[in-house]
Amino acid sequence: MTLVQQWFSFIGAGLLVALLVWGFRRWRFNRAVNRPFPANWSEILQRRLVVYGKLPMPLRLEWEKLILHFLHTKHFEGCGGLALTDEVRVVIAAEACLLILNRPSTRYAGLRWIYVYPSTFIAKRERQDEYGVVSGGKTHLLGESWSSGRVILAWDSVEEGHSDYTDGRNVVLHEFAHQLDQEDGSADGAPLLYTRDSYTVWSKVFSEEFEDLHRDLAEGRRTLIDSYGATNPAEFFAVVTEVFFERPQIMKQKHPELYEQMLDYYRLDPMLWAVK
- Residues with Cβ < 8 Å from 151, sequence gap 6 or more? 111, 113, 114, 115, 143, 144, 145, 175, 176, 179
- Could you read off the pLDDT tens digit of each residue along the chain, which spans 276 residues? 566 566 656 666 555 544 443 343 443 444 446 689 999 999 999 999 999 999 999 999 999 999 999 999 999 999 999 999 999 999 999 999 999 999 998 999 999 999 999 987 665 544 444 444 433 445 556 778 877 789 999 999 999 998 898 999 999 999 999 999 999 888 999 999 999 999 999 999 999 999 999 999 999 999 999 999 999 999 999 999 999 999 999 999 999 999 999 999 999 999 988 765
**What count of other Cβ atoms lies within 10 Å of the Cβ of residue 220?**
6
- Residues with Cβ < 8 Å from 160, sequence gap 6 or more? 169, 171
- Residues with Cβ < 8 Å from 42, sequence gap 6 or more? 52, 64
How far is Cα 31 from Cα 35, in angstroms, rounded to an integer? 6
Looking at residue 122, its pLDDT comes to 60
Domain 32-272 has CATH 3.40.390.10: yes
Looking at residue 237, its pLDDT comes to 98
Q: Are 113 and 70 in contact (CB under 8 A)?
A: no
Looking at residue 273, its pLDDT comes to 81
Looking at residue 272, its pLDDT comes to 85
Picking from 160, 155, 178, the residue whose alpha carbon sits closest to that of residue 170 is 160
Q: Are 78 and 84 in contact (CB under 8 A)?
A: yes
Per DSSP, the three-state class of 138 is strand
CA distances (Å), 102 to each of 7, 60, 89, 97, 110, in order? 51, 10, 21, 10, 20
Looking at residue 33, its pLDDT comes to 62
How far is Cα 166 from Cα 108, in angstroms, rounded to an integer? 26
Picking from 124, 215, 228, the residue whose alpha carbon sits closest to that of residue 174 is 228
Q: Whole-prediction pTM value?
A: 0.83
Looking at residue 147, its pLDDT comes to 78
